[in-house]
Structure 1
Amino acid sequence: MQIQLLSIFLIIIAIVILVNSPLVKTQSICFKFGIILLLLAIASIRIFHYDTQMGLNLDEAMGGYNAWSLAHYGLDSALHENPVYLYAWGTGMNVLYPLIAIPFVKLLGLNLIAYRLPMVLLSIFSAFVLLIGMLKYKLPNKLIILSLLTIFLSPWSMMANRWALESNLFPIIFCLAAAAYLFFLSQKKTDRLKRYISLFLFVFMIAISAYAYSNNWLMLPIFFCAIFLSLYLHKQITALEILGSFLVTLLIVWPLLLFVKINFLGGKTVHFFMLTIPKLSSSRSNSELVIGHGHLLQAVFNNIDQFVRLIVTGNDHLIWNSLPQIGIFYPIMFVFALIGLYAALLKRTQWDDFMLISLIACLPIILIVKINVNHLNALMLPILYLEARGLDSIVQNRLLKISFALMFSALFVVFTIFYFKIDQTDLSQGRTLTPEVLGQAVRFADQQKTDKIYAACFPKGGYVIPLFYTPVSPIIFNHEKAAESFKTESNYSSYGKWFFKTPRQLSKNSLLIMKKGQKIPFSLKNKREKTFGQYRVYY
């Protein structure tokens, strides 16, 4: 709670500074009030109970443990030094978010407060930076307000920004890149230093976004080439500046190019310039791409069908991505995105071009990557902006403005009621989510003087749960883990005193964690019981 209050305090200071800056100071009282209200809402909805509302996801557990390992030992869970991509379960994990989380985990310890905090703060920061970019570019005030509403107060962005799935960092980094693009467009050609700084920031953000989510490697080269072609055709950039941007990008992403070569074309783990480019045991592309699963054209057609269904219904049936009653967009809002697409095509600005290029660059993802909200996160910024663009072309008079404000406020309230109350149980105990009470049980069990701890209630791959709540050196973990090999994702049956199965008998020096109602084929009368919500510890 202290971290949350401190964050809100600092955000209020940032709002005061922004409102009194030359960009906002001369604006109308109504616009200033709208900006203050929106920024407070954007920050508050992300900070409020972000650590307790949703249970620990297994991806968070793995990313958090790797951040902790790198912070304290300079090694990831597979004993790789300075990895450019995490080995994780053997199928890999994007490295950028765990790297960013290292100082937070180092300072606050390994827990959900520390590991989710960077996602929360960076998402709020991106709202401030994009707002400044839109003000510098001198977008109409109404479009600025609507963009903040649709981008940062949509159900998708509010949910994605409150937990630490490492791939959810990509839209935030891309949003910062978009802001840097606006900074670049707003600079005078005579002010070369500011132009070059803005251009470097844009290129840097696009390049490091490749470390945020590997699925979007299909999108980034198309976007990069198309956006620089657009700048060149608009005479905003020279051929020499394009070459320089390409070289900077190559300097940043070459380790990932080598990673792709090793894992898709053959090779082994390489240690180069203090970096580790790991060879994974299996590629996630087998489970995330439609290629290699039956007839290609039929698979692509099915993918497009699922994409349309997801966008229209807004529900991918994963509770941490979309609430079943609401979806990733508010009802009807996608219709405004279609109107915005038409408006942007009819009368384009360079800002519209940026969003349209982003949209088109995602076509390979739509065609060959299995459809769910996480896999489509590169699409979210342009779609949400087009919602704002559509609303801007329709909401013209005072009555329509008031009507929309009331409608959006009502939808926002409905979302908060479902998210924080009605769906709370599902959010804390979904299929691969574990509630905080399980963390309490794990910590209690670990503190007991016992030879073996049997965890009979963990999901597949759940060996990372005690690694998150009671972390041990990655050296110890690799020494103690069961000698097992896997064709796909690792699912170790034990490490150290932890065993992830139901025992035949429970000896005197062993302990059992189980869920209420779970059947055990032996008596527990000789054991003491401690309750943690729906979990029981017998010791």
Structure 2
Amino acid sequence: MKKIFILFLILTLGFILRFWHLGDNPPSLDWDEASLGYNAYSILKTGADEYGNFLPLSIRSFGDYKPPLYTYLTIPPVSLWGLNEYSTRFASALLGFFTLIVGYFLVRILLNLYSAKIPLLFTLFFAISPWHIQFSRIAFESNISLFFVSLGICLFLYASKRPKLYIASFIMLGLSLYTYHSPRLIVPLLIVFLTLLYRRHILPNKKWFVVGIICFILLILPVLKELRGSTGARFSSVSSLTPESLSESINLIKIDKENGDRLGMLTHNRRLIYAREILGGYLDHFNFDFLFLNGDPPARHHANGMGMMYLWDFIFVAIGGIVVLRVRNAGMKVMVIWLVLSPLASALTTGTPHAVRALLMLLPLVYFSTIGFNFVYTRYKKLTRVAVFFLLINFYYYLNLYWIHSPVESSSDWQYGYKQVVSEVAKRESEFDKIIVTYRYDQPYIFFLYYNLIDPSWYQKNWGTGEIPRSNRSFGKFEFRNIDWQKDSYLKNVLFVGTGDEIPSDIPNEQVLHFLDGSVAFRVVAR
């Protein structure tokens, strides 16, 4: 009973950290969140996405062809509460909270009920994880992918006692392929390793296992079709394995040929260049600076001044990793394999390390941290008090950064100001023949669709035809492009929405909108 009460308190803390002021912090929707929300609204109203694709298996969005499940999961909250920040982020927060519960039961089965304390400690560490809180409070598909992958693995492990759970396990793992791109590489590999590790449990119950595999295959077939088309093109656009990365190899081989250096021609070939790119990208995700000090470059991925995990996690992850590697059982091997595989998809892309693409590595890292803390607690109880004190200080420091400083310092990264701009333009729209909105901050059109609740059936007919560049898109009175003030200032009866760099500060009657740090976000000028 005491254990249940403690779990309830931990889950309550996790719920509060994920839902408290969910629509207000982060301070604004970014363009991806607005796209997911509007496409959910569009499917709710018309059955098709913003481009008129009926019940799509990938969301075209900005040409990045997002997997569709987050959009479909957002339809119920949008239908209940309307299209707003809270409803758009609700699915991520809810499944982020459910991941805590899944994590608790996952650790219990991994340890085979060895200790009631460790699953509770794991759930606490997971509940206060900066990485998980960050992504549970924003509409990013990777967060729900962590839920489906974790649930699938958890059910797989429990299936050794209740074989029918193999079906549910493979359905969850199959659905994870519709959440985000990373599981499409990692999940099939996980299934192979889980099958090898638990083959003794599978063989007596192979009927249910085979049925589960059939369910997984049926779910993966539409994904394979998508990968051959537009979704595959998206991977090519972010892949690090591009011809551009071979330019160095080509130049070096040319020099080697001129010098007759056969060994050089061997070591400078494209396969080794690609291998170096992949290995470098992979190891970037275990970088101390990324994990524990500063995170990755996008400010939307973490609180300013914080890594993806707490600084104290470094010590316990290291100790826990050593402990896990010394214990030879299938449960421990699951977490090692999970961690080793998780950064693979991200390693194949540019911009490593990448907190979104590598989010699946979070759960095993928290597990190692938990095992490390428990090891210190059981052998050096006096040190535990110091560790707990440091933990509390680090936790307070994170909360202060997340709630007080980051919204102000990172408001521009969150595209803050579009909601205010849309509201101001709506008041004056009828006065002008045309409204020109800068493209300097990227994807401005989606915010006007989102906050104006533009009728999706109208937009599907009026967005244009063919591959119109997003940087030169228009619909109705709106034209979205960069502003050249020397040329555009001669236009008449036009309302301009530009940046502080595009529009001079000495224009009469101009309206200035600011980011939360006081810098200029937009200038609104009538001509």
Aligned to 1:422: 405
Aligned to 2:222: 255
Aligned equivalent of 2:496, options 506, 512, 517 = 512
Aligned to 1:239: 206
Aligned to 1:17: none
Aligned to 1:152: 127
What is the alpha-carbon distance in structure 2 between the residues aligned to residue 299 and residue 133 of structure 1? 34
Q: Counterparts in 2 of 1:468-507, with a 5 A limit? A: 468-481=450-463, 485=467, 490-501=470-481, 502=483, 504-505=488-489
What is the alpha-carbon distance in structure 1 between the residues aligned to residue 65 and residue 126 of structure 2? 30
Aligned to 2:66: 93
Aligned equivalent of 1:319, options 295, 299, 311 = 299
Aligned to 2:17: 45
Q: Secondary structure at the match of 2:454?
A: coil
Name the aligned partner's letter for residue 325 of structure 2: L
Q: Secondary structure at the match of 1:410?
A: helix
Gaps of 5+ in 1: 1-24, 188-193, 264-278
Contact 1:53 1:428 in 2 (8 A): no
Correspondence 1:140 to 2:107: no
What is the alpha-carbon distance in structure 2 between the residues aligned to residue 166 and residue 425 of structure 1? 25
Contact 1:291 1:368 in 2 (8 A): no
Correspondence 1:287 to 2:238: yes
Name the aligned partner's letter for residue 511 of structure 1: L
What is the alpha-carbon distance in structure 1 between the residues aligned to residue 36 and residue 274 of structure 2? 33
Identity of paired residues, percent? 20
Correspondence 1:408 to 2:380: no
What is the alpha-carbon distance in structure 2 between the residues aligned to residue 363 and residue 145 of structure 1? 27
Aligned equivalent of 1:434, options 415, 433, 439 = 415
Aligned to 1:345: 325
Which stretch of structure 1 is more off in the superposition, 43-52 or 443-452? 443-452
Q: Secondary structure at the match of 2:227?
A: helix
Aligned to 1:368: 348
* Structure 1 position 99, deviation (Å): 0.7
* Structure 1 position 459, deviation (Å): 1.1
What is the alpha-carbon distance in structure 1 between the residues aligned to residue 363 and residue 382 of structure 2? 28
What is the alpha-carbon distance in structure 1 between the residues aligned to residue 69 and residue 99 of structure 2? 16
Deviations, residues 220-245 of structure 1 (Å, cap 9, x unaligned): 11111111222213457533333212
Contact 1:227 1:357 in 2 (8 A): no
* Structure 1 position 93, deviation (Å): 0.9
Contact 1:439 1:469 in 2 (8 A): yes
What is the alpha-carbon distance in structure 2 between the residues aligned to residue 260 and residue 116 of structure 1? 27
* Structure 1 position 158, deviation (Å): 0.9
Aligned to 2:155: 180
Aligned equivalent of 2:372, options 375, 383, 390 = 390
What is the alpha-carbon distance in structure 2 between the residues aligned to residue 82 and residue 513 of structure 1? 34
Q: Secondary structure at the match of 1:408?
A: helix
Q: Secondary structure at the match of 1:512?
A: strand
* Structure 1 position 451, deviation (Å): 2.9
Deviations, residues 189-214 of structure 1 (Å, cap 9, x unaligned): xxxxx541x32222111110011111
TM-score by length of 2: 0.83
Q: How much is the aligned-residue C-alpha RMSD, in angstroms?
A: 2.8
What is the alpha-carbon distance in structure 1 between the residues aligned to residue 224 and residue 466 of structure 2? 30
Q: Which has the higher contact order (CA 8 A, sep 6+)?
A: 1
Correspondence 1:445 to 2:425: yes
Aligned to 1:206: 173
Change (3 A) 1:306 1:403: same
Q: Secondary structure at the match of 2:159?
A: helix
Q: Secondary structure at the match of 2:301?
A: coil
Correspondence 1:331 to 2:311: yes
Name the aligned partner's letter for residue 64 of structure 1: G
Aligned to 1:59: 32
Contact 2:498 2:524 in 1 (8 A): yes
* Structure 1 position 507, deviation (Å): 5.7
Deviations, residues 327-375 of structure 1 (Å, cap 9, x unaligned): 0011141332232222222224443232223223336336423321111
What is the alpha-carbon distance in structure 2 between the residues aligned to residue 471 and residue 288 of structure 1? 35
What is the alpha-carbon distance in structure 2 between the residues aligned to residue 39 and residue 325 of structure 1? 27
Aligned equivalent of 2:77, options 104, 109, 130 = 104
* Matched pairs, number: 480
Aligned to 2:277: 299
Change (3 A) 1:392 1:70: same
What is the alpha-carbon distance in structure 1 between the residues aligned to residue 384 and residue 5 of structure 2? 15
Gaps of 5+ in 2: 247-272
Deviations, residues 2-24 of structure 1 (Å, cap 9, x unaligned): xxxxxxxxxxxxxxxxxxxxxxx
Aligned to 2:253: none
Which stretch of structure 1 is more off in the superposition, 497-506 or 159-168? 497-506
Name the aligned partner's letter for residue 345 of structure 1: L
Aligned to 1:460: 442
Contact 1:232 1:239 in 2 (8 A): no
* Structure 1 position 36, deviation (Å): 3.4
Name the aligned partner's letter for residue 151 of structure 2: L
Change (3 A) 1:538 1:85: same
What is the alpha-carbon distance in structure 1 between the residues aligned to residue 7 and residue 90 of structure 2? 23
TM-score by length of 1: 0.81
Change (3 A) 1:528 1:400: closer
What is the alpha-carbon distance in structure 2 between the residues aligned to residue 129 and residue 521 of structure 1? 54
What is the alpha-carbon distance in structure 1 between the residues aligned to residue 145 and residue 170 of structure 2? 15
Name the aligned partner's letter for residue 209 of structure 2: I
Contact 1:462 1:491 in 2 (8 A): no
Contact 1:511 1:538 in 2 (8 A): yes
Contact 1:232 1:238 in 2 (8 A): no
* Structure 1 position 401, deviation (Å): 3.9
